[in-house]
Structure 1
Amino acid sequence: MKRKSRKRSEDFPTDIKQLESIIKNDFFKDTPDLSTKHFTVNGQPIIVLFINYMIDKNHLYEYILEPLQKKEEQWDLGSLNNEIPVESNQQRTTFQEVGDDLMKGHVAIYIEEMDACVTYPIPRLDKRSLEKAETESLVFGPQVSFTESLQSNLNILHWRLDTPELKVEKFIIGKTIPTEVRLVYLNDIASDENVSEMRKRLEKLAVDDVVESSTLTQMIEDNSYTIFPQFLATELPDRFCYSLKEGRIGVLVDKSPTGIIAPTTFFSYFQSTEDLYTRWSMGTFIRLMRMVAMFLSVILTPLYVAALTFHYEIIPSALLVSLGHSRSRVPFPPLLEALLLEVLIELIREAGARLPTKVGQTMGIVGGIVIGQAIVQAGFTSNILIIIVALSALASFTAPSYLMGSAIRIIRFPVIILAGFWGFIGIAFAIAFLIIHLLKISSLKRPYLSPLYPLQIKDIDNSLLRLPFLLSNKRARSNLPKKLKRFDRPKKS
């Protein structure tokens, strides 16, 4: 659709033929979807302009065309504003404004020789209904997820957070394709410093368009070169609302089913709202299990490579015999053997994720079994390495955050290579490098490894552990909440 900007100091008043010609030729040239309807009501020539596929036809005929033709007196700008039953109408005095509104799903009405054209927003909203979350599935708790409609998402938030302290700020980002972005926070809890920092980043963002919330995250995060996510992306309204109540701030993007939460810590990506819905002992156990699984996912395969390449002496004799027998037909060194199998696992995972659900599940199970059995019989790898790689892959899937799980799987490859060249020294170097890197990362200028660095013992229950609710009455200090206490602990009688 070709659109040209037309700059004139005084576009109105004009006659209807000139208006129609300018809109068609200057803004919607070679576009068959621009529709115009001409009327004469009480001797007044009237034109109605709209884009066919952008508006709700039922609203057009019921709320605009029918009242427009039934009026017994002459129309003026005041009556157009007050008597057409459509809210948020605007008076436009330039052709540029009229053309922009038409592209947003507005209907434009112009009565000949008037000083302005009146536009009414009646966009056609094709959106999916509220559905169960897919990427963050829960056993307990609310199952509903965000949708691509910003209005629906805001409606869910106001329903879950029925308080006047809920503040929603509007931003329009994108020079070529403007996109509506909302900054959301609880005014009595969220830190003014955090809100101001996020507001500043959104205001300074000068891009052509924002495709989705994940792309916006990459544009405003603290460090664009690290593999670790710094803002949490979630499709769960309950997790989004819980984060706001903890003093964090959120960002919603129009046409995106994912909300952004900031600031976050490294441990935030191993937490789930399901931890809150279960008993505190089970919640603590699951959190610790996820972090142990993450560590094992990074370290298991490199340990295998380092032990078989440099450190046979640490392997028990009984296991060493089994390993020797299993690798007797393998023509590759442990490093190449491990990389081959890790790449194979990633290929199966990616294929299963891209195929339709039922086909993908079958592909993952059958492909893994058939290829795993065949590759062992062909002598390309050992049975023990298949077990280790499978355990590493399973451990990486325990992270509730898809982005963190992907980061862990990618990190495994350089650690394996270092283990293949320098053994345990290479693994130690890789772990030291990761710790130093994590210490340098920040999220909205907040420490990424909090509460371990800087050490905040009292914040352990908001990260590593999940204490009973009566003991966990304070919010995380790393978020700088205005209200540190959630509630006062009951006094013992």
Structure 2
Amino acid sequence: MFFKKKLIANKNVKHVGNEDSIPPSRELMSSEFKNRLHNSADIFENEVGCSGITIFYIGTLIEKTMLYQFIIEPIKELSFDSIQKIMEYLSVAEIEKSNQMDMVVKSALEGNVIIYLEGDSSVLLAKIPSTVGRSLTFAENESAVIGPQIAFNESLLTNISLIRNYLKDPKLCIENLNVGSHTNKTVSIVYMNGIASEQMVGTLRQRIQNIKIDGIIDSSGLLQLIEDNSLSIFPLMLLTERPDRVSDLLLKGKLAIFVDGSSLAIVCPQSFLEFFQSLEDYNVNWQIGTFLRFLRFIGLFISVFFTSIYVACLTFHYEVIPQTLLLPLSESRSKVPFPPMFEALILEFFIELLREAGARLPTKVGQTMGIVGGIVIGTAAVDAGFTSNILIIIIALAALGSFVTPSYSMGNVIRGLRFPLIILAGFWGFYGIMYGFCFLLLHMLKQSSLGTPYLSPFYPPRFSDWKDSIVRLPYQFTYKRADLNRPEDEYKYAPEKAKEKN
């Protein structure tokens, strides 16, 4: 909280309408204020000095030291004949005048101190909220080797200031909305004016305003209420904890949403391919960035299809297995009592149990649990003839493939898709895998993110956007913003300057 000098403290004072007026006496004001807050135990009422000044506040929401230093101490020895005189004397940066009781109660819930003068028809709302929250730390779920390491925290003001530090541009626009009849959460829409599509901004604003719910706690809950199809297994909007990534996407014409109390930002629109892109791809040269993207898509294929292909080959299609592998496969499966489909499902289930247990346990214990549990269970299962050693290798590779995805939500989808594909492969072999793949492809073709195609730029084909999709070409070839975002300004920099040599 910042405090200005006394002479300039009250430049931006708001005056509110005159309905639901302030009670004319301190006793009535006290009774009305407490009744509207249902006589909560953390409501405080203090008389200041002897001139009829009373302050009301919710003790758990304000900073007590600042209350005494900037409000009580300056006025306790003085007398005032109007609330306007108090407002001119106090040096609190955020102070406003109100004569509506509804606004008084709402302001108290936002960390304001209510300054009441006996006989005056208005009160002062001085904002001195307590600073509850953790300090800025490293990004835990989206770590990067090259580039900034800082991550968002649960303070909305801090998160917005991080974006402001990256984008020091007056075109950066922030719109605040309130969501939840009980939580009354502040939701901020952030975008670059002149770059982001006005139609998308209006659509997103309308979706948030149309939410009628008692409350939301986190950005992930809001995302499920505003995405195009909440029944789809695929994430249609991006959740990220990195301010550098959000800033980069804002420059591309995307929109960001912040929820007070959440350390994750929502970014939209988002295509399927963009979930496999990382800001680190742009921090290395384009050859390495392209290689990393190819590596992620290979990991996607291995994670989703490798186990199901193994099940299909051993159940129906022995002819596709090279003869040199038939003997090791038959030897490894000679003691296994289960058919390949059940064997694969059981091992995949064990792997997911280990992963979930490692995520829920404390960090040091979780890492030990994952490593030791995987080694012990895998070795014991092979020695007991419960499973084959080749399947252990395949499932371990499939698990590794899901970890290379930069997005945690997309990684969860990849984990979930393996199970139905294994079942289809166990019943119909390669035909079942193909049926499952076609179903997923048709499903993704129907999806959209904030009204934009989910499989862009391949469907519908936008060849200009292929330069920054699976491959990442040098910067001089990517001077145009992606058509997916429908930007108002299509160019990052002048095309005629793109190929000039230094």
TM-score of the aligned structures, taking structure 1 as reference length:
0.95
- Whether the aligned pair in 2 keeps the contact of 1:28 and 1:34 (CA below 8 Å) is no
Q: Which residue number corresponds to residue 388 of structure 1?
A: 394
Question: Matched residue pairs, number?
Answer: 482
Partner of 2:54 in structure 1?
Answer: 47
> What is the distance in 1 between the residues matched to 2:55 and 2:306?
69
Alpha-carbon distance between aligned partners in 2 of 1:132 and 1:114, rounded to the nearest angstrom: 50
Contact residue 49 and residue 75 of structure 2 kept, 8 A: no
Q: Which runs of 5+ in 2 are unaligned?
A: 1-17
Which residue of 1 is the match for residue 312 of structure 2? 306
Mapped to 2, the partners of 1:182 and 1:261 lie a distance apart of: 12
Query: 1:225, 1:69 → 2: CA distance?
Result: 59
Mapped to 1, the partners of 2:349 and 2:373 lie a distance apart of 14
What is the deviation of 1:54?
1.4
Aligned match of 2:47: 38
The one of 63, 67, 83 equivalent to 1:60 is 67
Correspondence 1:441 to 2:453? no
Q: 1:208 aligns to what SS in structure 2? A: coil
Q: Which residue in the other structure is 1:15 paired with?
A: 25
C-alpha contact 2:23 2:29 (8 A) present in aligned 1: no
- Change over 3 Å in CA distance of 1:180–1:10 after alignment to 2: closer
The reply on whether 1:464 has 2:470 as its aligned counterpart is: yes
1:171–1:203 contact (8 Å) kept in structure 2:
yes
Runs of 4 or more, structure 1, over 6 Å off, are none
Q: CA 1:12–1:171 in structure 2 vs 1: closer, same or farther (change >3 Å)?
A: closer
Paired with 1:353 and 1:68, the residues of 2 have a C-alpha distance of 53
- The correspondence of residues 103-114 of structure 1 with structure 2, limited to 5 A, is 103-114=109-120
Look up the SS of the partner of 2:475 in the other structure.
coil
Shift of 1:114: 1.1
Map of 2:459 onto structure 1? 453
- Counterpart residue number, 1:336: 342
| Rounded Cα–Cα distance in structure 2 between residues aligned with 1:33 and 1:183 | 32
1:227 alignment counterpart: 233
Q: Is the 8 A contact 1:51 1:102 kept in 2?
A: yes
Where 1:423 maps in the other structure, the secondary structure is: helix
Is 1:191 matched up with 2:197? yes
Q: Distance in 2 between matches of 1:173 and 1:444?
A: 19
Indicate the residue corresponding to 1:153 in structure 2: 159
**26 and 167 in structure 1: CA distance in 2 versus 1, 3 angstrom threshold:** closer
Give CA deviations for 1:463-491 in whole Å, capped at 9, x if unaligned.
11111112221111111112222123144
Deviations 1:380-407, CA, capped at 9 Å, x for gaps: 1100000000000000111000000110
- Structure 1 pair 483/9, CA: closer, same or farther in 2 (3 Å)? closer
Letter in 1 for 2:31: S
Shift of 1:70: 3.1
Q: 1:490 to 1:9 in 2, by over 3 A?
A: closer
Q: 1:237 to 1:39 in 2, by over 3 A?
A: closer
Cα 1:24/1:480, change in 2 over 3 Å: closer
Q: What percentage of aligned pairs have identical amino acids? A: 45
Structure 2 SS opposite 1:36: strand
- 1:480 corresponds, among 457, 462, 486, to 486
CA contact (8 A) 1:310 1:423 kept: yes
Q: Which secondary structure state, in structure 1, belongs to the residue aligned with residue 477 of structure 2?
A: coil
For residue 111 of structure 1, report the CA deviation from its aligned partner.
1.3
Task: Label 1:419 to 1:85 Cα distance change in 2 as closer, same or farther (>3 A).
Answer: same
Specify which of 37, 45, 58 is matched with residue 27 of structure 1. 37
Q: 1:492: how far off?
A: 6.1
- The normalised TM-score by structure 2 is 0.93
**Corresponding residue number in structure 2 for 1:255:** 261
| SS at structure 1 position matched to 2:116 | strand
> Residues 411-470 of structure 1, C-alpha deviation per residue, up to 9 Å, x if partnerless?
110000000000010001111111111111111110111111111122112211111112
- Report if aligned partners of 1:40, 1:46 keep a CA contact under 8 Å in 2: yes
1:11, 1:189 → 2: CA distance?
Answer: 44
The one-character-per-residue Cα deviations of 1:332-379 (angstroms, maximum 9, x if unpaired) are 111100000000000000011111111111111000000000111111
Give the Cα–Cα distance (whole angstroms) in 1 for the partners of residues 210 and 408 of structure 2.
29
The residue number in structure 2 matching 1:366 is 372
1:462–1:475: 8 Å Cα contact kept in structure 2?
Answer: no
CA distance in 2, matches of 1:432, 1:100: 53
What does 1:63-102 correspond to in 2, within 5 Å? 63-71=70-78, 73-102=79-108
Go from structure 1 to structure 2 and tell me whether the alpha carbon gap of 1:122 and 1:387 turns closer, same or farther (over 3 Å shift): same
Q: Write the distance in 2 (CA, Å) between the matches of 1:492 and 1:151.
A: 42
